[in-house]
Structure 1
Amino acid sequence: MKITDSDVIRFHLQVIHGINVKSVESKTERLFASGAKVFGVPLENLSRRFIPEFGLVPGFLVDACSFLLERAGTVGLFRKPGSLPRIKSLRAKLNRGEACLSTAFAYDVATLIKQFCRELPEPLIPAEIPAALLKAQTLDSLQDRISALQLLSCLLPARNSSCLHYLLDFLSKVTQRCEENLMTSSNLATVFAPCLLPPPNKQEMSEGRFELRILVLRTFIEKPQMFGVIPKAVMDSMGFLINCPLLKDAHSKKHSLKVLWSVKTVPWIQGKTKVRPAVHQRRRESNLPRRPTLRRSVGLEVFPNIAFFRACMSCEDSSPAAAILDALSPSSKQPSPNRIKRDMRLSLFPGLGQGQTASSSVFSAVGKLQAASWSKRISL
């Protein structure tokens, strides 16, 4: 299975922030040409220019933002509407490929930018992302909200990310002259929220949800440098996830994601390798012999010279010294396990060999040890 950047980013969002994001469907390039038309045309069919810091950006957006950047001090820019007859004339000229922005009014060009974003067949922010953006804005700490928004911005397709990043960077430059134009980041976010984050249904049209959209765009306008930039921690984790042993045994993408998301730690961020062993490794370890239980340990490990204790109590007629030499000699026969256990009890508790009753405390303790079930005995 091939792990992509989006898989790693969605994994971080799930584990760290608890945000589930569906995979953004990749749109195939359309083969038809749109000519010089600008409005209502997909991004891949527009005439685009390569901007080193952003990538391929539609030519109309580059010309319009460059034109307005020189007039960024205009009061109420993007808030005050332009003239409808002039805007209609400009649209017709732009769709014919005419260069007409140099003589236009600032309010008219600003309105055309909003119409351009609103009339795209596919929104700049794909349908899988807005719900996650709003959820990210409800996180507790400011650092978590910014981190989640940054990760979500990295899930946009390349052409959408380039265009939106360029627009947000331009709006950030407009706010730098807010003392002149009276357009703060909050005002610009309010104006562009219906264009970039339109509500998909009536339930999303509430005032509270609209405020969340404003906060999302306000964060991007105030921090355009973080848009589409993968954090270093996520970059460092990509090598770990690609070589993760949990994915090597997976046979399908669905199964592998379940196995991957079952890991609740993030070892590549913490600098530790807390990885569960693979399935075949756990099976191999389960086949290894178990450690001896208490019953065996007491007889053979705690008292290794059990023959010595047996010899002390073996024969009443022979002397103890002769019995010890007989027991320790190499030629002596090995006693049976049952006799070893019996003789060990006699050596430790000699009173039992003289007919001591079962009511004694010592016998009761030994009897409890013998009566315990095998599964409950403690292993050393």
Structure 2
Amino acid sequence: MKITDSNVIRFHLRVIHGITIKSCERKKERLFMGGTKIFGVPLENLQRRYIPEFGLVPCFLVDACSFLLERAGTVGLFRKPGSLPRIKTLRAKLNRGEGCLSTALPYDVASLIKQFCRELPEPLFPSELHAALLKAQALPAPQDRTSAIQLLSCLLPARNSSCLHYLFNFLSQVSQRCAENLMTSSNLAVVFAPCLLPPPNKAEMSEARLELRVLALCTFIENPQSFGIYPVKPV
């Protein structure tokens, strides 16, 4: 069930879960997306591709994830780093618009995906939502945690939501092959927490706060079909 009125979502978060959140600043989507540069570029300026079910997703992310899906059994995928010299070369080629992923190595492409997420000018999860996500994850009842986190995912700008939904769906498929790659949903969440929910200061880098970040991402990786969908019964 999709609910587009953010005021309704905030009302439920406040009344049912005791979570108050400020409005996320929503920039206008640009109809024209030019240039070939990929890293460190705002989402609205990237070349994107329409993917049914997800919406407009950055072309690089689609190509990189599609490449890795065929190699999802690679042991330690996303945990083991790629080669820095090779990654540097790949970045330069990608930023020039050259197609080079087909001959790359899985660890290098996985590292590029993490760099892409980490180097966005604004995190895929806007900073306005970080505290609310952690508060939601700290709720005592499991069904309250799930409901609150699902509600928060409905507040994301469309460009962020499409990108994250696609990414979580991909990571879910990677985790389903954990018997081969040894990357469970929890392992993947640990790897992606600094990329998607970067702590704003040292006080937020405590073990307890990191664990909440990981658990929140685990929820999305394990249930990508619920991302951005208003829960039928938010209580």
TM-score range, shorter chain: over 0.9
1:81 touches 1:107 (CA, 8 Å); kept in 2? yes
Q: CA deviation at 1:173?
A: 0.2
Aligned to 1:173: 173
Cα distance change of structure 1 residues 169 and 33 upon mapping to structure 2, 3 Å threshold:
closer
Aligned equivalents of 1:172, 1:56: Cα separation in 2: 19
State the Cα deviation string for residues 59-113 of structure 1 (Å, max 9, x = none).
Answer: 0000000000000000000000000010000000000101100000000000000
Aligned to 1:263: none
Q: CA deviation at 1:10?
A: 0.3
State the Cα deviation string for residues 108-139 of structure 1 (Å, max 9, x = none).
Answer: 00000000000001110011101000000111
1:18 alignment partner AA? G
**1:58 and 2:58 are equivalent in the alignment:** yes
Aligned to 2:198: 198
Give the SS at the match of 2:39: coil
Give the SS at the match of 1:128: helix
Aligned residues: 232
- Over alpha carbons, which structure has the higher Rg? 1
Residue identity (%): 79
1:39 alignment partner AA? F
Aligned to 2:69: 69
The alignment's TM-score, normalised by the length of structure 1, stands at: 0.59
2:73 alignment partner AA? G
Q: CA deviation at 1:30?
A: 6.0
Q: CA deviation at 1:25?
A: 1.2
Aligned to 1:118: 118
1:86 alignment partner AA? R
Give the SS at the match of 2:151: helix
Aligned to 1:137: 137
Aligned equivalents of 1:233, 1:138: Cα separation in 2: 20
State the Cα deviation string for residues 125-170 of structure 1 (Å, max 9, x = none).
Answer: 0111010000001111110000000000000000000000000000
Aligned to 2:85: 85
1:75 alignment partner AA? V
Aligned to 1:307: none
Aligned equivalents of 2:139, 2:179: Cα separation in 1: 31
Give the SS at the match of 2:128: coil
In angstroms, what is the RMSD of aligned CA positions? 1.5
1:34 touches 1:41 (CA, 8 Å); kept in 2? no
Structure with the bigger RCO (C-alpha within 8 Å, sep 6+) is: 2
Q: CA deviation at 1:231?
A: 2.5
State the Cα deviation string for residues 10-67 of structure 1 (Å, max 9, x = none).
Answer: 0000010101011111123469965110101111111100001100000000000000
Q: CA deviation at 1:206?
A: 0.8
Give the SS at the match of 1:61: helix
Aligned equivalents of 1:56, 1:31: Cα separation in 2: 11
2:33 touches 2:44 (CA, 8 Å); kept in 1? no
Aligned to 2:45: 45
State the Cα deviation string for residues 205-235 of structure 1 (Å, max 9, x = none).
Answer: 111100110100011101111100122357x
2:70 alignment partner AA? E
Aligned to 2:164: 164
2:29 touches 2:44 (CA, 8 Å); kept in 1? yes
> Where in structure 1 do 4 or more consecutive aligned residues deviate above 4 Å?
29-34
Aligned equivalents of 1:210, 1:80: Cα separation in 2: 20
Q: Which runs of 5+ in 1 are unaligned?
A: 235-268, 270-380
Cα distance change of structure 1 residues 32 and 52 upon mapping to structure 2, 3 Å threshold:
closer
State the Cα deviation string for residues 257-280 of structure 1 (Å, max 9, x = none).
Answer: xxxxxxxxxxxx9xxxxxxxxxxx
Aligned equivalents of 2:85, 2:45: Cα separation in 1: 27
Give the SS at the match of 1:225: helix
